[in-house]
Homo-oligomer: A and B are copies of this chain.
Amino acid sequence: MKYTGKVKKLLKSVKIGDKVRVESQGEVFKGHLMPRAGASGGILVLKLGNGYNIGLKPDKVKRLKGPRRVKRVKVKAKNDKKKKSISILLAGGTISSKVDYRTGAVKPAMTADEIITFTPIIRELANIKARVLFQLLSENMTPKQWNIIAKEVAKEVKAGADGVVIMHGTDVMHYTSAYLSYALQDLPVPVVLVGAQRSTDRASCDTHVNLSCAVKAAISDIAEVMVCMHEGLSDDACVLHQGTRVRKNHSSRRDAFKSIGVLPFVRVYYPSLEAEFLRDDYARRDPSRKIKLVNGFESKVALVKAHPGMSPKLISSFKGFKGLVLEGTGLGHVPVKSSAQNKKVLSALKKFKGLILMTSQAIDGRVDMNVYETGRDLLKIGVLGNYLNMTPEAAYAKMIWVLGNAKNKEEAKRLINTSIAGEFTERSEVL
């Protein structure tokens, strides 16, 4: 609703959502202008940095300063030949979200131009082209979107991009990064997924730091699929995680993403953007290498977490499915003995016609179905994944990718047991 009367006069060219500075009764308030609160159009409402709203009487306002209206930068494809050319693909998520000050909701709605102008440092690092693929909160993505992203990245690389950055929601970014790791083979240049845990309207917004480090990663020598996010709680560094060995381990913290069972490839300090290499087992940039796009996918795959007293329906419901990824307990177990219901879980698994792949809900560590009889029962019925240490998420993306690309069941089994993109390691190391 619009403001009226004295407030309207006070606001002049200031618009809803603009950041303003208000002096009133000897105090200074900084915040975003909110829509008028209900019928009281005579009260000025600001959302302060701490998230609270404050109402101010126009009579008491001594001074109100709106934002400096910056002349809109027209982003031209001015090509600096000394710089690398980076393509940014927008896929939605918090990192490309704006707050709708009318509803208070955060929606992925930034334009490509807004992204580029919002973090100016990236244009100093590289020639930037940006375009929107789609604008989804990542929790709503499906393997169909993984397929689209893979195709569009390959298109950019074939068109000569020296690196690709994908701006992506964080909820399931690690599922997407795993799929892209399998689908984009023989990468000649870096592919970097980047997200934000806090949207740009918040003081703790991590967009600038993450995006700056991501573009730095994209012009680097590391021709891998990576995830670039905050390393810790302060703004001093990001890390580049291997696409198949990363996981979101906190619902809201900026350092939510962690490498599992390996170190990140690199730490990128901010704001210096200096790189510190933590590993050297990565593919090097090589523009002469031809990217191979292998982006089939099979949607009839389910991910099921085992638990005490689990219903056999968690298995039997997936009749006709091509693949089942189990998130077992411990070394890779599901309940199969000692109660009638457990035994039904085992028979449902026996009846399942597709491939079954075991992982562990402990997340870190290796599957070993040889130690206990529960595991041996599972091995006997052909459950795959023994001795591997894939995260459940990387394993789920792998099953979808394998079944979408393998010519037959035998090839699929072979691919499951082959490391395509570092999704399992030969040895476990104590980090």
Residues of chain A at the chain B interface (Cβ within 8 Å): 105-107, 136-146, 169-172, 175-176, 233, 248-253, 256, 299, 301-311, 313-314, 317-318, 321, 327-339, 341-342, 360-368, 371-374, 376, 389, 392-393, 396, 400, 430
* Chain B residues with CB below 8 A from A256, complex form: 362, 365
Per assembly, the copies of the chain total 2
**Bound-state Cα–Cα, A410 to B389, Å:** 43
Nearest to A298 among chain B residues (CB) is B309
* Chain B residues with CB below 8 A from A302, complex form: 310-311, 313-314
- Contact yes or no, B308 A318, CB < 8 A: no
Nearest to A343 among chain B residues (CB) is B140
Partner of A172, one of B308, B321, B337: B308
Q: A371-B106, A372-B137 are in contact. Are A252 and B307 (CB under 8 A)?
A: no
Partner of A309, one of B249, B251, B400: B400
- Contact yes or no, A364 B249, CB < 8 A: yes
- Contact yes or no, A365 B105, CB < 8 A: no
* Chain B residues with CB below 8 A from A252, complex form: 331, 365-366, 368
Closest beta carbon of chain B to A196's beta carbon, Å:
12
**Bound-state Cα–Cα, A248 to B328, Å:** 12
- Contact yes or no, A140 B338, CB < 8 A: yes
**Bound-state Cα–Cα, A335 to B251, Å:** 16
Partner of A329, one of B171, B314, B329: B171
Q: A172-B308, A313-B317, A317-B314 are in contact. Are A248 and B362 (CB under 8 A)?
A: yes
Closest beta carbon of chain B to A96's beta carbon, Å:
13
* Chain B residues with CB below 8 A from A313, complex form: 302, 317-318
Partner of A250, one of B176, B309, B364, B367: B364
Closest beta carbon of chain B to A305's beta carbon, Å:
4
- Contact yes or no, B339 A308, CB < 8 A: no
Best-buried of A139, A141, A332, A389 by chain B (most CB within 10 Å) = A139
- Contact yes or no, A333 B139, CB < 8 A: yes
* Chain B residues with CB below 8 A from A250, complex form: 362-365
Closest beta carbon of chain B to A119's beta carbon, Å:
22
